[in-house]
A = this chain, B = another copy of it.
Amino acid sequence: MSENEDFDFTIEELGSRNVHSPIAMSKTLGDMIANYVTDDEFVLLKPQIKLGEQATIKRSQVVECAGPREMIYFSPHHVHAGIVSCGGLCPGINDVIRAIVRCLSRYGVSRVSGIRYGYKGFLPEYKFDIMPLTLKDVDDIHKLGGTFLGSARGGGKEVVKIVDAIEQLNMNMLFTIGGDGTQRGSLDIANEIEKRGLKIATVGIPKTVDNDFAFIERSFGFDTAVAKAVEVVTAAHMEANSQINGIGLVKVMGRESGFIAAHTALASHEVNFVLIPEVPFDLEGPNGFFHHLEERLSKRHHAVVIVAEGALQDQLIKEVKTDAGGNVKMVDVGTYMRDRIQKYFDDKKIETNLKYIDPSYMIRSAPAAPSDSIYCERLGNAAAHAAMAGKTKLIIGLVNNEFVHLPTKVVISHRSHVDPEGALWRDTLDATHQPVLMINNFQSDTLFTNEFSIPV
């Protein structure tokens, strides 16, 4: 995102807070008792700062800290909270659900309901029952992967039906665990709620195993996903290393960003090429990927390649057809690359043994690793505190290690990317020793004056 944009990070609230929080905390520093968080606690979004710069910190540069408020909006006994999880699986969803239920129960809230199978669970045609969520119900769900409530894609555009259902259920709080589309749906729901003059808080917990929510430094489940992907890459490496000219090709998640791919390469230490959406590359030609792969094989007799699912899509959609409805269908870059690599070496009559692995379902359905489990617990707590305070149309995030409130409309307007010129990608190139750019017609003064080359 551009550095100069002025985002409005103000958080909307349902009304003035007149209820004293039943969770007793302290306002005194030094008494060893945890403190309430006040509305004037902020975190600077971008801590990278030029020295000596004279500055008035503007509201558009800071975000509000999450946490329990002393005065809250809802009277706990009147609360009926709903939780819905949408879209694909991601490690940690159950941890988030559990944390919300438990934190609300500390306020004295006893009515929490789970919506089955995403937004579809609100639609009358699906006839799904609401699932009551007590402390006992959620006690052990964090030990399982997947989502306890079920999930589904779509349904979020049926805003009127959804708000009808919410009204019918007398819900005054909706927690949405989901990605971009889910949070977009959440905002539409909130707007419909507002139109009807209802007082219902909507709080989003951002879920994307790709880790590319804007402003948010890390999405839950990401550590677990990388750890699982590393296991797969280890397998691919073993296969590659045990065959004549073995090639291990692994497709990892990342529709628009290469975070999983880059982190997996850094963690596994065994990857030779990482192909991500943010960094363009040619397949053919003297500086193309195939050439460099061939070179690697001739030197080391095996190679491991990670490709993010969004890589190469720009090029591929030119080659493939649109579907009946006129939509461009995303190409499976994994099998595409598998076939192209195979053909390249077959044409050259070079014996290779390519093993292709697509581990997506194994990665996303795993139970959360401890670091994600902690993160999910804390996200869920922050979401419950926010809703109790009557804050709405917001998403919980982590910014500079602080849990914060971010307006939903701002977060969904952008997406985060691996910066090809930044430290993460620099370290990834170091780890893989792959060429900086595998493009044939690349022109750069910098490169030529520096005799640019990464030594193998």
Residue among A28, A30, A242, A403 with the highest chain B CB neighbour number at 10 A: A242
List residues of chain B with CB within 8 A of the CB of A56: 52-55
* A9-58 interface (Cβ within 8 A of B): 24-35, 37, 40-44, 47-57
CB distance from A143 to the nearest CB of B (A): 7
Q: For the complex, count residues of A whose C-beta is within 8 A of B.
A: 119
Give the residues from 45 to 75 in chain A that come closer than 8 angstroms, CB to CB, to chain B.
47-57, 59, 62, 65, 67-68
> Which residues of chain B have C-beta atoms less than 8 A from A35's C-beta?
421-422
Q: A365's closest neighbor in chain B, by CB? A: B238
Q: Is the CB of B227 within 8 A of A146?
A: no
Point out the residues of chain B lying under 8 angstroms from A226, CB to CB. Answer: 370-371, 374
Chain B binder among A205-213, A306-314, A317-325, A428-436: A428-436
Q: How far is the CB of A407 from chain B (nearest CB, A)?
A: 16
B24 touching A400 by the CB < 8 A rule?
no
A residues 264-320 near B (Cβ < 8 Å) are 264, 266-269, 279-280
In-complex Cβ contact of A427 among B146, B381, B431 (8 A): B381
A365:B235 contact, CB within 8 angstroms: yes
Q: Are A446 and B33 neighbours in the complex by a CB distance under 8 Å?
A: yes
A378:B24 contact, CB within 8 angstroms: no
* Cα A451 to Cα B20 with chains together (Å): 12
- A381 near B430 with CB under 8 A, answer yes
Q: Which residues of A are in contact with B by a Cβ distance under 8 Å?
A: 24-35, 37, 40-44, 47-57, 59, 62, 65, 67-68, 89, 98, 102-103, 105-106, 108, 117, 120, 126, 142-147, 150-152, 217, 223, 226-227, 230-232, 234-236, 238-239, 241-244, 263-264, 266-269, 279-280, 355, 357, 359, 361-362, 365-366, 369-371, 373-374, 377-378, 381, 399-403, 420-423, 425-427, 429-431, 436-437, 444-447, 450-455
